[in-house]
Amino acid sequence: MPKERLDKMLSNLGYCSRSDVRRQLHRVKVAGQPALKSDQKADWTEISWDDEPVDPDPLWILLHKPEGVTCSHKDVGKLVFEMFPQRYLMRKPALSCVGRLDKDTTGALLLTTDGPALHRLTSPKSLVDKVYRVLLAEPPNPAHLEQIRQGGGLLEDDDKPLLPCQVEVVGERQVEMILHEGRYHQVKRMWLALGNAVEALHRVRFSRFDVKGLAEGEYRLLRQEEVSGL
């Protein structure tokens, strides 16, 4: 683990500004010992702030996104970033959503400060699984289900054919879908193109991360070993 100056590291981790670290040094320990100077070098795993280990670097969050919250730093209404402590928002590199869920979509949302991983996971080439539970306005038609499974369909204002997609009927008006791409409003636009409408959308799983054990609005930090290889 690379060592860095405390003032640089703690300001990048969002605890206080670089110039404030000297004034706040009484709150910092390195390997259990009071910090000596703001330019002392350490790695983040050795540091505590108010006797709590500092947040991991990079930071990974799994949120059970509730309805009515927007995945944006700036918008009207409630923002996903307001659900976390202020210091997460002061991080450098900044905390970002790994792709977006619509304001009315609930379920598994990852956020990270790991720029390269964010780029990999949100690239059009990423084939990461996204599993959705979809409530439709009308019962799904078997021919439409087959079209979705085969892929090749077009969305409005999009000239790239859709990839094949797994879809299973799980209720009279409910289906579960596994997508490997992440286009804008993709699930809603897929059903709209077939003359049906999505009434409610929940992401059950993103990659290997599901929201079992997290109530809507709850989140947990992911451990480094959970995110390895992403």
Least Å distance between CB 166 and ligand URA?
15
Distance separating alpha carbons of residues 62 and 193, to the nearest angstrom? 31
Judged by beta carbon, residue 49 or residue 132, the one nearer ligand URA is 132
Distance separating alpha carbons of residues 72 and 183, to the nearest angstrom? 17
Whether 75 is catalytic is: no
DSSP 204-220: EEETTEE-TT--TT-EE
With CB under 6 A as the contact rule, which of the stretches 26-34, 40-48, 185-193, 211-219 interacts with ligand URA? 185-193
* Binding of residue 176 to ligand URA (CB under 6 A): no
Least Å distance between CB 108 and ligand URA?
11
Interaction with ligand URA in 94-113: which residues (CB under 6 A)? 101-102, 105
DSSP 111-153: EES-HHHHHHHHSTT----EEEEEEESSPPPHHHHHHHHH---
* Binding of residue 158 to ligand URA (CB under 6 A): no
Least Å distance between CB 188 and ligand URA?
4
Least Å distance between CB 105 and ligand URA?
3
Q: 5 in helix, strand or coil?
A: strand
* Binding of residue 187 to ligand URA (CB under 6 A): yes
For the chain, how far is it from start to end, CA to CA, in angstroms?
A: 19
Q: Which one of 112, 113, 186, 196 is in contact with ligand URA (CB under 6 A)? A: 186
Residue 195 backbone class (left: φ over 0; alpha: ψ -120 to 50; beta: rest) = left
Binding positions for ligand URA, rule: CB under 6 A: 101-102, 105, 185-188, 201
Catalytic residue positions, numbered: 102
